[in-house]
A and B are shown apart, each in its own frame.
Chain A
Amino acid sequence: MISSTSRHARGLCTLLLLIVPQVVFAVELDMREGVTAMSQDIHWLHTVMLWVCIVIGIIVFGAMGYTIVAHRRSKHPEPANFHEHLGVEIVWTLIPVLILAVLAYPAAKMLSEIEDNSDAALTVLITGSQWKWHYQYLEHDIGFYSNLSTPREQINSCGGWLLADTFCELPDGDSAAGKAERDANEHYLLEVDNPLVLPSNRKVRFLTASNDVIHSWWVPDFAVKQDAIPGFINEAWTNVPQTGTYRGQCTELCGKDHAFMPVVVEVRTEDEFDQWIEDQRLAKELASGQAVADREKTWTLAELKSIGEGVYLANCATCHQPNGAGQGTTYPALDGGEIAIGPMAAHIDRVMNGKAGTEMQSWAPQLSDRDIAAVITYERNAWSNQPDDNIVQPLTIFEYR
């Protein structure tokens, strides 16, 4: 009996020794200090507040703990009779007022610095849409979308779990393989195809806006969090002294894939940044040359279909599913779908312009002529779809624009 108890105890201790250090030491307990002067000031304010709260807590809970021990009936059978004391009450009203006044001063001062958006060297317009960010460098006429790059197979692991079929209308992934890849991916859900690139040591002004619902752009290491509101433009700024890659997320519930619109910022030295801008400009010229070539060419079905599959998986599959089955009535099935096997003109119209009031957005500004032609062609030839007019050329899309 005893030995079995001690064996259990030993087992439990071993388990605790294994778990506790992982839980306690492997993770940060405090707010991230970040890399900018602003984030470090805020971290300082947070630390001061935390300690003020801890000290007040120790005093108040200490008094409570003392009275709970000392003034229980077994030790203190005769209760005292006092129930008012004006002096004490005035003191414990005034002391908090004083503490708060002392705290309010640095907070207000810091705030006025945070709200000073003047004298920026660079302005980036950040536009949120379901569920991606668009970055536009206003001085340089460069803009691009930034999408989550974690593959869906790592995220969706509903297969094989109890009740999962009831609440998880996603295609059954291979949950074990997905989990292995997920665990190996250091930046799971915090990686994008095109990060925002910024120069170090320059004041960068952000303008935030939205195409659909409210999003919020947040990079904890910069302490910049600003809502992106449709129809309005907000301002924020940062000045990052260190180069590196910084990650954040959308922090305002923006619909189904709110969890899947990360922010990744690459901060480079000023020279590298200027070089990058130059590269982007060249790439843009190349791309417009490529666009002309694309629309002059007559593409084969196989070519468009293979490009289209990639475009589909990157942009469409999150709602309509990789197998085209959709999700309920909110995200209609494309496999056998009314539009995907209906007249071509309606299909082009829907992809180019979206459907008002739904998450089906206008893809015209987001994708090239070639990619739109490819994805439409893919949708009309994938799964069981076999309409008569099953191919559209980039030139048609160009003319439609």
Chain B
Amino acid sequence: MVAHAEHIPHRSGLAAFLSRWLLTTNHKEIGSLYLWFAFLMFFIGGALAMGIRLELFMPGIQLIAPGFYNQLVTMHGLIMVFGAVMPAFVGLANWQIPLMIGAPDMALPRLNNFSFWILPFAFSILLSSFFMEGGAPNFGWTFYAPLSTTYGPDSTDFFVFGVHLMGISSVLGAINIMVTIFNLRTPGMTLMQMPLFVWTWLITAFLLITAIPVLAGAVTMVLTDRHFGTSFFSADGGGDPVLFQHIFWFFGHPEVYIMILPGFGIASQIIPTFARKKLFGYNSMVYATVSIAFLSYVVWGHHMFATGMPLAAELFFMFCTMLIAVPTGVKVFNWVATMWRGSMTFETPMLFAIAFVILFTIGGFSGLMLAMVPADFQYHDTYFVVAHFHYVLYPGAIFGTMAAVYYWLPKWCGHMVDEWWGKLHFWTAITFVNLTFFPMHFSGLAGMPRRIVDYSHQFQDFNLVSSFGAMGLGLTQVLFLFIVIKTIRGGEPATDKVWESAEGLEWTIPSPAPLHTFETPPPWPISETEAHEGAA
């Protein structure tokens, strides 16, 4: 975002642009690339979602044929999960982790470049499937066999290849983040002194390198089942379609924590800053995150209660899933305790962080309800589930990312965000997010299955409200794009410290952050005088 061309050989026009952005190994530039890429995917995925909601505006098929509808549902999920949320978090990690631990760059800068530049290719392949004969993948982002194996469209093979590429990108990115955190912390900074955003990302990176290869295995088995005569997922050859679900969700459940843990970290950075009070229970926050990560590996079965699981397995997965509520509760209580008797102001990042805590907790409540197996038989595969995971993903992962952007953007580009616009974005976003997703609880409880292109009259009113909300929510994010561009282009200059009581190494460097920072490791802990100089 900030041009510091002095280290780059002088070229002009396209060559200069390409050599800067294609060949960059700088963590800040790569971070920006990730964030812009995620932004683009967010809009593409959002456009697909608006197509879905337009079709669901009222009963009857008005706009989108059933086959194409399934393609929209599938691609919306894939693009939002792998194209928007994950790259956005990696982008934030790239920008912030070196700044927060006092490292000059990521530990493996060329690998960093490689892991980003895989993504545009992966998503070009995936998106190009819309234009292929037979259309894009149409089996849901969960690509259950045999819908994706025996019955998948030809483009399934491109989907498999695309997922492999995204997986390689994620694993390489995760390795880089782990190596950076373990090796490049400024001398003296112990693990238990790291900012929580760094901690949550370290744990996320472990989840990534263990979960993504399982996904790679699943898509490879789909590929060999389709073309090389294996029968992993087909009973005709001695396989089992449910095996696919076990493998997929063994990846899939850690994946949902991959999409939320960095958000926990972001909230834990922002709330203390604006409460002007240290984070309550730092240690228990770390332990809670680690326990959530461990538990995430033993709860995958709760996605599969309707597949005919034996009673003992149902009980095991129910109890383990309920246990997740304990560390998650600890985190929520700690955030409230951090706010308690603080001295709070409510700038845009704080508003998004508070909305994150509240709405994520609502998603957590519905998650707890879903964990109860008997009740899950009624909730499973209905809009109640759609409401649940959109509550943890939209106000969770997406609002978390937005909070982070509002919080750190002044550091990245040197301009404060115009609070009037930021607050307008917040209040419209929070109105429409609830208008879109809250009614889905009711349509689900009334019995509306998910992934249906058309529905009976009893679900009409709630779908109308959801569709109306979704249109507003989509437009609201155009406002976000406008605010980001406006802030990059100008605005009130940011001080080094940006926020009055922000703490951490990233606030000791100038705003905007120079291309190269911490070429010599900063002293740790930050001395009072230096922190003051930063603020001055």
Given A63-B336, A328-B133 in contact, is the A110-B344 Cβ separation under 8 Å? no
**Which B residues, 269 to 301, have Cβ-Cβ distances below 8 Å to chain A?**
275-284
Q: Identify the stretch in A46-54, A269-277, A338-346 within 8 Å (CB) of chain B at 4 or more residues.
A: A46-54
**Nearest CB in chain A: distance from B310 CB, A:** 8
Contact with B along A11-35 (1 / 0, CB 8 A): 0000000000011001111111000
**Which B residues, 74 to 115, have Cβ-Cβ distances below 8 Å to chain A?**
none
Given A30-B445, A64-B357 in contact, is the A330-B67 Cβ separation under 8 Å? yes
Q: Which listed residue, B135, B339, B375, B381, touches A328 by the CB 8 Å rule?
A: B135
Task: Flag whether A256 is at the interface (Cβ < 8 A).
Answer: yes
Q: Which listed residue, A60, A76, A103, touches B343 by the CB 8 Å rule?
A: A76
Contact with A along B107-146 (1 / 0, CB 8 A): 0000000000000000000000000011100111000101
Collect the chain A residues with CB atoms within 8 Å of residue B431's CB.
none
Task: Find out whether the CB atom of A45 lies under 8 angstroms from the CB atom of B372.
Answer: yes
Give Cα A115 to B315, complex, Å.
11
Give Cα A28 to B444, complex, Å.
11
Task: Flag whether B147 is at the interface (Cβ < 8 A).
Answer: yes
**Nearest CB in chain B: distance from A322 CB, A:** 14
Most A Cβ at <10 Å: residue of B344, B346, B457, B465: B344
Task: Flag whether B326 is at the interface (Cβ < 8 A).
Answer: yes
Collect the chain B residues with CB atoms within 8 Å of residue A84's CB.
280-283
Q: Identify the stretch in B174-182, B233-241, B478-486, B489-497 within 8 Å (CB) of chain A at 4 or more residues.
A: B233-241
Q: Which listed residue, A167, A214, A230, A253, touches B70 by the CB 8 Å rule?
A: A253
Task: Find out whether the CB atom of B374 lies under 8 angstroms from the CB atom of A158.
Answer: no
Task: Flag whether B530 is at the interface (Cβ < 8 A).
Answer: no
Task: Flag whether B461 is at the interface (Cβ < 8 A).
Answer: yes
Task: Find out whether the CB atom of A115 lies under 8 angstroms from the CB atom of B311.
Answer: yes
Give Cα A236 to B447, complex, Å.
19
Contact with B along A211-232 (1 / 0, CB 8 A): 0111010101001111101111
Q: Which listed residue, B61, B133, B372, B455, touches A158 by the CB 8 Å rule?
A: B61
Q: Which listed residue, B369, B374, B449, touches A50 by the CB 8 Å rule?
A: B369
Give Cα A220 to B456, complex, Å.
14
Which residue of chain A is the closest to B153 with respect to CB atoms?
A: A330
Q: Which listed residue, A27, A103, A170, touches B442 by the CB 8 Å rule?
A: A27
Q: Identify the stretch in B193-201, B211-219, B316-324, B515-523 within 8 Å (CB) of chain A at 4 or more residues.
A: B316-324
Collect the chain A residues with CB atoms within 8 Å of residue B284's CB.
89
Task: Flag whether A56 is at the interface (Cβ < 8 A).
Answer: yes
Task: Flag whether A168 is at the interface (Cβ < 8 A).
Answer: yes
Collect the chain B residues with CB atoms within 8 Å of residue A218's CB.
381, 449
Give Cα A22 to B151, complex, Å.
42
Q: Which listed residue, B66, B153, B358, B382, touches A251 by the CB 8 Å rule?
A: B382
Given A57-B365, A96-B326, A108-B315 in contact, is the A255-B277 Cβ separation under 8 Å? no
Q: Identify the stretch in B38-46, B164-172, B327-335, B399-407 within 8 Å (CB) of chain A at 4 or more residues.
A: B327-335
Collect the chain A residues with CB atoms within 8 Å of residue B280's CB.
82-84
Contact with B along A167-192 (1 / 0, CB 8 A): 11110000100110011001111100
**Nearest CB in chain A: distance from B356 CB, A:** 12
Task: Find out whether the CB atom of B64 lies under 8 angstroms from the CB atom of A167.
Answer: yes
Collect the chain B residues with CB atoms within 8 Å of residue A178's CB.
60
Q: Which listed residue, B336, B378, B461, touches A220 by the CB 8 Å rule?
A: B378
Task: Find out whether the CB atom of B318 lies under 8 angstroms from the CB atom of A107.
Answer: yes
Which residue of chain B is the closest to A191 with respect to CB atoms?
A: B456
Q: Which listed residue, B68, B447, B458, touches A167 by the CB 8 Å rule?
A: B68
Collect the chain A residues with CB atoms within 8 Å of residue B456's CB.
187-190
Task: Find out whether the CB atom of A168 lies under 8 angstroms from the CB atom of B65.
Answer: yes
Q: Which listed residue, B275, B326, B358, touches A79 by the CB 8 Å rule?
A: B275
Give Cα A340 to B366, complex, Å.
52
Task: Flag whether A67 is at the interface (Cβ < 8 A).
Answer: yes
**Which B residues, 331 to 355, have Cβ-Cβ distances below 8 Å to chain A?**
332-333, 336-346, 354
Task: Find out whether the CB atom of A167 lies under 8 angstroms from the CB atom of B63.
Answer: yes
Collect the chain B residues with CB atoms within 8 Å of residue A79's CB.
275-277, 341-343
Collect the chain B residues with CB atoms within 8 Å of residue A223's CB.
374, 377-378
Collect the chain B residues with CB atoms within 8 Å of residue A362's CB.
none
Q: Which listed residue, A32, A63, A78, touches B447 by the CB 8 Å rule?
A: A32
Q: Identify the stretch in A149-157, A304-312, A389-397 within 8 Å (CB) of chain B at 4 or more residues.
A: A149-157
Instruction: State the interface size on chain B (CB cutoff 8 A).
Output: 103
Collect the chain B residues with CB atoms within 8 Å of residue A41's CB.
374
**Nearest CB in chain B: distance from A85 CB, A:** 8
Task: Flag whether B51 is at the interface (Cβ < 8 A).
Answer: yes
Task: Flag whether B453 is at the interface (Cβ < 8 A).
Answer: yes
Task: Flag whether B446 is at the interface (Cβ < 8 A).
Answer: yes
Task: Find out whether the CB atom of B65 lies under 8 angstroms from the CB atom of A327.
Answer: yes
Task: Find out whether the CB atom of B330 lies under 8 angstroms from the CB atom of A93.
Answer: yes
Task: Find out whether the CB atom of B275 lies under 8 angstroms from the CB atom of A227.
Answer: no
**Nearest CB in chain B: distance from A232 CB, A:** 6
Task: Find out whether the CB atom of A23 lies under 8 angstroms from the CB atom of B465.
Answer: yes
Task: Find out whether the CB atom of B377 lies under 8 angstroms from the CB atom of A114.
Answer: yes
**Nearest CB in chain A: distance from B329 CB, A:** 5
Task: Find out whether the CB atom of B369 lies under 8 angstroms from the CB atom of A53.
Answer: yes
Collect the chain A residues with CB atoms within 8 Å of residue B326's CB.
93, 96-97, 100
Collect the chain A residues with CB atoms within 8 Å of residue B381's CB.
216, 218, 225, 251-252
**Nearest CB in chain B: distance from A213 CB, A:** 5
Most B Cβ at <10 Å: residue of A104, A157, A251: A251
Give Cα A64 to B325, complex, Å.
19
Task: Find out whether the CB atom of B139 lies under 8 angstroms from the CB atom of A53.
Answer: no
Collect the chain A residues with CB atoms within 8 Å of residue B241's CB.
214, 229-232
Give Cα A323 to B343, complex, Å.
70
Task: Flag whether B434 is at the interface (Cβ < 8 A).
Answer: no
**Nearest CB in chain A: distance from B242 CB, A:** 6
Task: Flag whether B452 is at the interface (Cβ < 8 A).
Answer: yes
Task: Find out whether the CB atom of A49 lies under 8 angstroms from the CB atom of B368.
Answer: yes
Task: Flag whether B426 is at the interface (Cβ < 8 A).
Answer: no
Given A79-B277, A214-B241 in contact, is the A167-B62 Cβ separation under 8 Å? no
Which residue of chain A is the closest to B241 with respect to CB atoms?
A: A229
Give Cα A61 to B361, complex, Å.
9
Collect the chain B residues with CB atoms within 8 Å of residue A190's CB.
456
8 chain-A/chain-B pairs, Cβ below 8 angstroms: A49-B372, A68-B354, A79-B343, A96-B325, A188-B59, A213-B151, A227-B306, A230-B146
Q: Which 8 pairs between the two chains have the least Cβ-Cβ distance? A: A231-B235, A234-B308, A259-B452, A80-B341, A53-B365, A83-B278, A251-B381, A79-B343
Residues of B within 8 A of A (CB): 51, 59-68, 70, 73, 133-135, 138-140, 144, 146-147, 150-151, 153, 234-236, 240-242, 275-284, 306-308, 311, 314-315, 318-319, 322-323, 325-326, 329-330, 332-333, 336-346, 354, 357-358, 361-362, 365-366, 368-369, 372-375, 377-378, 380-382, 442, 445-447, 449-458, 461-462, 465
| Given A71-B340, A232-B240; 4 other pairs, CB 8 A cutoff | A30-B445, A68-B354, A158-B63, A168-B62
